[in-house]
A = this chain, B = another copy of it.
């Protein structure tokens, strides 16, 4: 059987896991310090005091490493979003939306190159795998945001202009998720979720890319105004 001395086997496996983690950690440090172009096998190896090709024992290709990084970043981000949301009472959609929005910006500011990477800034020469580098995290993000809209929909729904959205306007997988998890939600609610996402993304990406910094010293204040305005336009009462 597989009664192979678990201790020693674990030792090698542990070393392997540690080195894998170190490769990723160094890659993220380089990303943060020097930008996406610095994610190179040679650069990481240099930093770790190894040869570049040693990394091929851990990742079959540079692009696999990049995909793994994107997946890790996106997963950690969405984890924080969910945690922030769940720290607010389930029956208070306004607070939950604002918590999500604040965590959205906070993570991005703490991690600018990570935000760029996750939102599609291309690493030179990188080609993402079929289905994207982080499909599961993306699904969680989408579900989380839709859930917040679903909670607000009783108040928000009547305020939406009745643009004629149909299920056919949206991607099949997205529709399937919505109909299964939020069966009462109509198509315009999905459009609303996308618009809310874009409002967060818009201000935060202008800020991360340095376009807002040349205009205002209070990007956070502007973001807060925008989010409270959003809450209000959904027919919810902003807290505080």
Q: Does A199 contact B (CB under 8 A)?
A: yes
Give, as a whole number of angstroms, the nearest-CB distance from A240 to chain B: 12
User: A121 is contacted by which of B121, B163, B199 (Cβ under 8 Å)?
Assistant: B121
> Do A124 and B37 form a contact, CB below 8 Å, given A195-B226, A222-B194, A225-B161?
yes
Measured between beta carbons, the chain B residues less than 8 angstroms from A161 are 225, 228-229, 232
Q: Quick check: B37 and A125 within 8 Å, CB to CB?
A: yes
When all copies of this chain in the complex are counted, the total is 2
Closest to A232 in B: B161
Q: Does A60 contact B (CB under 8 A)?
A: no
Give, as a whole number of angstroms, the nearest-CB distance from A42 to chain B: 15
Interface of A (DSSP majority class): helix
Measured between beta carbons, the chain B residues less than 8 angstroms from A206 are 194, 197-198, 201
Interface residues of A in 198-240 (CB under 8 A from B): 198-203, 205-206, 209-212, 214-218, 221-222, 224-226, 228-229, 232-233
Give, as a whole number of angstroms, the nearest-CB distance from A143 to chain B: 12
User: A222 is contacted by which of B168, B191, B233 (Cβ under 8 Å)?
Assistant: B191
Q: Quick check: A216 and B191 within 8 Å, CB to CB?
A: yes
Residues of A within 8 A of B (CB): 35-37, 119-122, 124-125, 132, 142, 161, 163, 165, 168-171, 174, 190-191, 194-195, 197-203, 205-206, 209-212, 214-218, 221-222, 224-226, 228-229, 232-233
> Do A171 and B202 form a contact, CB below 8 Å, given A195-B222, A195-B225, A225-B163?
no
Measured between beta carbons, the chain B residues less than 8 angstroms from A36 are 122
Q: Quick check: B201 and A170 within 8 Å, CB to CB?
A: no
Measured between beta carbons, the chain B residues less than 8 angstroms from A197 are 206
Q: Quick check: A215 and B142 within 8 Å, CB to CB?
A: yes
CA of A226 to CA of B195, assembled, Å: 7
List the 5 shortest-distance A-B pairs measured between CB atoms, nearest first. Answer: A202-B202, A198-B202, A120-B209, A198-B203, A169-B218
5 more contacts with CB within 8 A, not counting A37-B122, A191-B216, are A165-B218, A174-B216, A198-B202, A198-B206, A205-B205
